[in-house]
Amino acid sequence: MRLLTHNMLSSNIKGVEKGFPLRIEAEKVVEKPVEMNADFLRKMFEKVEWKAFVEASRSMGYAQLPEEVDSGMLESDEFLSRFHHALLELHLEEGALVCPETGRRFPVNKGIPNMLLHEDEV
Amino acid sequence: MASYKENRTAQIRLVSSHNEVYEPCDDSFALVDALLADRTNLLEHCPTMCMEIGCGSGYVITSLALILGRERGGVNYIATDINPNAVKVTRETLDAHGVDAELILTDIASGLENRLAGLVDVMVVNPPYVPTPEDEVGAEGIISSWAGGENGRRVIDRILPVADHLLSEKGWLYMVTLTANNPSEICLQMRKKGYASKIIIQRSTEEESLHIIKFWRDFDTTVDEVTDQSLIGFLGSLLAQIPLFSLWRGSNSNDNC
């Protein structure tokens, strides 16, 4: 699971109002390089919730992202490269995503988050 | 042409399998053929985010990634399935073809709805569309891959509003339906939400027809592009009364095709 996906996930438990972001418990993180596409990054920049992204990145062991950003930074290769790395090259293979409101753990196994709810959570 | 297709779509010999996961069949092939037929449009469309709901063996999402992926980087793929074996098999199929997608084990798009709203440029769905008793809908294992309840519409009717919510302004949805699902009524429902539609591929057997429908937002739509609507409506109501013996889904065995 990449951090891009993490940034798109929120707790789906019935009644939860503040289900984003899910807190990451990282047991196994893997880095897989992938080619950078600046256009893609610029588009994603508009949609990523930055604070959650920085926090999540730290949980995965990468702390090289600026705390605050503005779109001017997209001109910087250095910034793009760090953004790219955190967004697309870090994979949570084993661990969990934790609902910020209820503490419920959604396991992540072999890079796949399990968001299936139990009957009483639907 | 077989050799043309080989590079563009997933290869059956590389598609992983599991006895509780739906193997690629006529409906999967028809959906991928529809994507191939629309390839030029898809490339011009420059989608950023593509999604499959119900990835099964991974045949379709892998094919979509191959159709789009080689020519441009910068496309993100997401696929979901409610069956844990399906996401596992999909990962194997993606790996075997050297393409990648983010996989999530979930019911339709549960967990993604808030943040992914309005971001999906291409969505593909081969839903559980077979008319079955209600209690088979969502049943564990392979049954959930085809069981569609009354008129085979139960899961389709849950997917459509989710698709509407997740699709971007320029978003396209490709969906597999049977005549028994009443596709013209589906198109009418979608039109009310501002979507135009077109049947890209239709494959018929003696008993049933598969329709691959493409939906896109078009608030100016006044004419339904589904051709010969009256005929489809008549056939639809006629066929809906015939007990469905799908040639390509064996409900009591795993001989899908």
- Distance in angstroms (rounded) separating the CA atoms of residues B178 and B172: 20
Tens digit of each residue's pLDDT (9 = 90 or more) over A18-30: 999 999 999 999 9
Helix (H, G, I), strand (E, B) or coil at B184: helix
Q: In what order do the strands lie in the sheet with B102-105?
A: B102-105, B76-81, B49-53, B120-125, B167-178, B209-217, B195-204
Write out residues 20-59 of B within 8 Å (CB-CB) of A: 48
Report residue B13 as tokens: 């010999």
Interface probe with B: pick from A7, A10, A98, A112, most Cβ of B within 10 Å: A112
Give kind and range of the element (H or E) at residue B102. Answer: strand B102-105
- For the CA atoms of B152, B78, B118, A70, the dihedral, rounded to the nearest 10 degrees, stands at 170
Task: Kindly tell me if the per-residue pLDDT of B250 is higher than 50.
Answer: no
B209–chain A nearest CA distance, Å? 33
pLDDT at B6: 54
Q: What is the Cα–Cα distance from A23 to A7, expressed in whole angstroms?
A: 11
Q: Which residues from chain A sit within 8 angstroms of residue B112, using beta carbons?
A: 8-9
Which of left, alpha, beta for B43 (phi over 0: left; psi -120 to 50: alpha)? alpha
Q: How far apart are CA B71 and CA B55, in angstroms?
A: 23
How far CA B5 is from CA of A2, B33, B36, B103, in Å, comes to 30, 9, 9, 25
The string of pLDDT tens digits covering residues B186-215 is 999 999 999 999 999 999 988 889 999 999
Which two tokens mark B249?
A: 């889904």
Asked whether residue B1 carries a pLDDT value surpassing 90, the answer given is no
CB-nearest partner of A112 from B48, B100, B103: B103
Phi, psi of A49 (to 5 degrees): -85, 105
Tell me whether residues A112 and B105 touch, CB distance under 8 A. yes
Q: What is the pLDDT of residue B73?
A: 66
Nearest to B115 among A9, A40, A106 (CB): A9
Q: Give the residue from chain A lying closest to B99, CA to CA.
A: A34
Q: CA–CA separation, A97 vs B185, rounded Å? A: 40
Q: Is A114 an 8 Å CB contact of chain B? A: yes
Closest partner CB to B74 (pick from A7, A39, A115): A39
Q: How many CB atoms lie within 10 A of CB B177?
A: 26
Q: Using CA atoms, how far apart are residues B182 and B233, in angstroms rounded to an integer? A: 7
Contact call for residues B149 and B129 (beta carbons, < 8 A): no
Banded model confidence at residue A122, pLDDT cuts 50, 70, 90: confident
What is the H or E stretch that residue B103 is in? strand B102-105
**What average pLDDT does chain A have?**
97
- Identify the CA nearest to B97 among candidates B222, B231, B6, B213: B6
Q: CA B252, CA B132: separation in Å to the nearest integer?
A: 13
Q: What is the pLDDT of residue B220?
A: 73
pLDDT at B71: 53
Dist CA B112 CA B162 (whole Å): 10
Give mean pLDDT, residues A63-67: 97
Q: What is the largest CA-CA distance in chain B?
A: 48
Candidates A3, A5, A6, A8, partner chain B, best to mutate (most B CBs within 10 A): A8
- Rounded CA-CA distance B82/A116 in Å is 7
pLDDT by residue (tens digit) across A2-50? 999 999 999 999 999 999 999 999 999 999 999 999 999 999 999 999 9
Residue for token pair 């993180």: A29
Q: Do B115 and A43 touch (CB under 8 A)?
A: no
Contacts of A11 in chain B (CB under 8 A): 111
Among residues B226, B221, B161, B179, the alpha carbon closest in space to that of B196 is found at B221
pLDDT in tens, B21-80: 999 999 999 999 999 999 999 999 999 999 999 999 999 999 999 999 755 568 999 999
Q: How far apart are CA B209 and CA A56, in angstroms?
A: 47
Q: Which residues of chain B make contact with A34, given a CB cutoff of 8 A? A: 100
- Say yes or no for a CB contact (<8 Å) between B103 and A111: yes
Q: State residue B246's pLDDT score.
A: 42
ipTM value, please give it. 0.97
Q: Do A39 and B115 touch (CB under 8 A)?
A: no
- Asked if the peptide bond before residue B127 counts as cis, ω within 30 degrees of 0, the response is no
Residue A11: closest C-alpha in chain B: B111
**Residue B245 banded pLDDT, cuts 50, 70, 90:** very low
The answer, for B84 touching chain A at a CB cutoff of 8 Å, is yes
Q: What is the DSSP string of chain A?
A: -BHHHHHH-----TT-S---SPEEEEEEEEE------HHHHHHHHHH--HHHHHHHHHHTT---S-SS--GGGGG-HHHHHHHHIIIIIEEEEEEEEE-TTT--EEEEETTEEB-PPPGGG-
Instruction: Look at strands A23-31 and A112-113 and give their pairing.
Output: unpaired
Q: How do residues B155-171 score in pLDDT, each as one tens digit?
A: 999 999 999 999 999 99
B102 to chain A, closest Cα gap in Å: 6
Chain A CB within 8 Å of residue B117 CB:
no
| Residue ranges of domains in chain A, CATH in brackets | 3-113 (2.20.25.10)
Please, what is the average pLDDT of chain B? 86
